[in-house]
Amino acid sequence: MTILDKLKNNKNFTDTEKQVVNYLLNHFDQIDSITINQLAKKTYTSHSTIIRVCQKLSLKGFRDLKMRLIQEREANKFLTKKVSYSIPFQYNETSEDIINNIYSLYKESIHLLHSQIDKKSLTQIAQCLFESNRIFIFAIGDSKLTAQAFINKMIKIHYFPILATDNNEEKYISHALTQDDCALFITYSGQAQTFNECIDIIKKKHAKTIIITSDEEAPLTKKCTYHICLPNEEKEYKIATFYSQLALQYILNILFSIIYNKTKHY
């Protein structure tokens, strides 16, 4: 869920905090220049009220809130033809319609991801993978297929990630990690119960942990050392995992590319 969506939901805010939220929603296009002092004055609130709003959005502060809202606003400019990320085409559409819809889906997805993904976190995660003695990957279902493609690329630069979920032995394998290793969880929903059991084991081993997911509030996400949170655009009912797999593949391709570039300097 985007920050803008969370503001629009407006559920967890007090009446005083809603004054700040409503101002931000009503002046979304003018967010660039406003300061925290100006916002407090215009909403008849205080700095502490604004900070509480930021905290309820899981953000560090007002500067972080501004940056995220500006990123989301710029991303929305690219959405020239809104297409459903879950059901991009209908049964009665022509082949040409379907071709155009899938094109729009992929184009919009890449623009959305590029504008909202935390580039600093991507760099930190790539460094973590680069420095780890061993990389253990946890992925099931469609995400497992995407993980296997990532592993194939990594092998070509002499990294040999272990797919811990390959034979449903992930809990057993979790006991084998050390503080020099890294566990990478790839799960769009972030709700795989077996992963919650694995990470509790892995944390006791003091290994570094990474998750790529769309659920920043999931217990698994909060337990990981590093996380990349994807915009959650694909709903439970869907024709296929077009968006989620493209999003995961996009992030993994970036990580591979950064690691590949680092290896050329060693």
- pTM value is 0.72
* CATH code 3.40.50.10490 region(s) in the chain: 119-263
What is the Cα–Cα distance from 165 to 160, expressed in whole angstroms?
Answer: 15
Mean of the pLDDT values across residues 47-70?
Answer: 92
**Percent of the chain whose predicted confidence (pLDDT) is above 70:** 96
Q: What is the pLDDT of residues 118-157, one digit of tens each?
A: 899 999 999 999 999 999 999 999 999 999 999 999 999 9
- What is the dotted CATH code of the domain comprising 119-263? 3.40.50.10490
Cβ density class 103-117: b for 16+ within 10 Å, e for less = ebbeebbebbbebbb
Give the residue, 125 or 32, on which the prediction is more confident: 125
CB 225 within 8 A of CB 209: yes
CB 88 within 8 A of CB 239: yes
CATH T-level assignment (fold) for domain 3-70: Arc Repressor Mutant, subunit A (1.10.10)
* CATH code 1.10.10.10 region(s) in the chain: 3-70
Residue 154 has a pLDDT of 97
pLDDT at 79 exceeding the cut of 70: no
CA distances from 67 to 2, 36, 39 (A): 13, 13, 15
Q: What is the pLDDT of residues 8-28, one digit of tens each?
A: 887 789 999 999 999 998 988
Q: What is the pLDDT of residues 168-209, one digit of tens each?
A: 999 999 999 999 999 999 999 888 889 999 999 999 999 999
